[in-house]
DNA sequence: GGTCTGACTAAAT
DNA sequence: GATTTAGCCAGAC
C-alpha cells in the first residue's frame, strides 16, 4: 500500500476540478469525510506539486487565501482569470457560479 | 516521541 | 457586526 495520504486525495480532487471552476478547502475536506480538516487540505496544498492546480482552491468565501504561497502575488489571480474566472481584490467574483463541489459533482 | 505549525471553518465573545 | 478562540489532523522539528 502506498501512502495514500490526505495529500494524495487532495491532489486528486484538485486535479478533478474542471477549468473555469473553483472549490473550497472545506468542500475538499468534506469530501475527505472530515469537514473540519480543512486546514489539512490547505496545508497539503502547501506542498502541492505544480501538477496540482491549487490556484483553483480558495477558502470558503472565494478569497485567494493561498496566493501568498504562489510565486508572485498576482500569479494565482491571473491563472484564474486565464480560465475565465473573474477575480477582484484577491476574491473570486461569481464565486457561487464557479464553485465546484466534489461531494456534489462527483457523488451526484 | 512530544510539540508546533499550518493556504481553514465556525462558533463564541 | 467584527475580532478572537477553539477545533481538526497530519507532517516537520
- Residue A2, pLDDT > 60, answer no
Note whether residue A104 is domain-resident. no
Note whether residue A88 is domain-resident. yes
Q: What is the pLDDT of residues A45-66, one digit of tens each?
A: 988 888 899 999 999 999 999 8
A4 touches strand C (CB under 7 A): no
Q: Share the mean pLDDT of chain A.
A: 88
Note whether residue A105 is domain-resident. no
Cell 510565486, residue located: A71
Q: State the average pLDDT over residues A54-80.
A: 90
Give me the pLDDT at residue A1, please: 41
A70 touches strand B (CB under 7 A): yes
Tell me how far apart the alpha carbons of residues A57 and A23 are, in angstroms, rounded to a whole number.
5
Give me the pLDDT at residue A64, please: 92
Contacts of A93 (CB under 8 A, 6+ apart): A85, A86, A87
Note whether residue A107 is domain-resident. no
A4 — pLDDT class (breaks 50, 70, 90): low
Note whether residue A1 is domain-resident. no
Helix axis angle, A38-46 to A6-16, nearest 10°: 80
Tell me how far apart the alpha carbons of residues A63 and A87 are, in angstroms, rounded to a whole number.
9
Note whether residue A32 is domain-resident. yes
Q: Which nucleotides of C are covered by protein (CB under 7 A)?
A: 7-12
Note whether residue A106 is domain-resident. no
Q: How many domains does chain A have?
A: 1
Whether residue A54 contacts residue A27, with contact meaning beta carbons closer than 8 Å, is answered with no
CATH number of the domain at A53, please.
Answer: 1.10.10.10
Write the burial class of residue A26 (CB in 10 Å: 0-12 exposed, 13-18 middle, 19+ buried).
middle
Q: State the average pLDDT over residues A16-25.
A: 94
- Full domain range(s) for residue A33: 6-97
A57 touches strand B (CB under 7 A): yes
Nearest to A80 by CA among A100, A53, A101, A61: A53
Q: State the average pLDDT over residues A30-46.
A: 86
Q: State the average pLDDT over residues A25-36.
A: 87
Note whether residue A51 is domain-resident. yes
Nearest to A95 by CA among A103, A108, A85: A85
Amino acid at each position: 500500500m502506498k501512502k495514500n495520504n490526505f495529500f494524495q486525495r487532495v491532489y486528486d480532487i484538485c486535479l478533478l476540478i474542471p477549468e473555469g471552476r473553483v472549490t473550497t478547502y472545506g468542500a475538499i475536506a468534506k469530501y475527505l469525510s472530515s469537514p473540519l480538516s480543512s486546514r489539512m487540505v490547505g496545508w497539503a496544498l502547501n506542498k502541492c506539486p505544480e501538477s496540482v492546480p491549487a490556484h483553483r482552491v480558495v477558502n470558503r468565501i472565494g478569497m485567494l487565501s493561498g496566493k501568498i504561497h504562489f510565486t508572485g502575488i498576482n500569479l494565482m489571480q491571473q491563472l484564474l482569470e486565464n480560465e475565465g474566472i473573474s477575480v477582484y481584490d484577491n476574491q473570486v467574483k461569481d464565486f457561487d457560479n464557479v464553485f465546484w463541489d466534489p461531494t456534489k459533482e462527483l457523488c451526484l
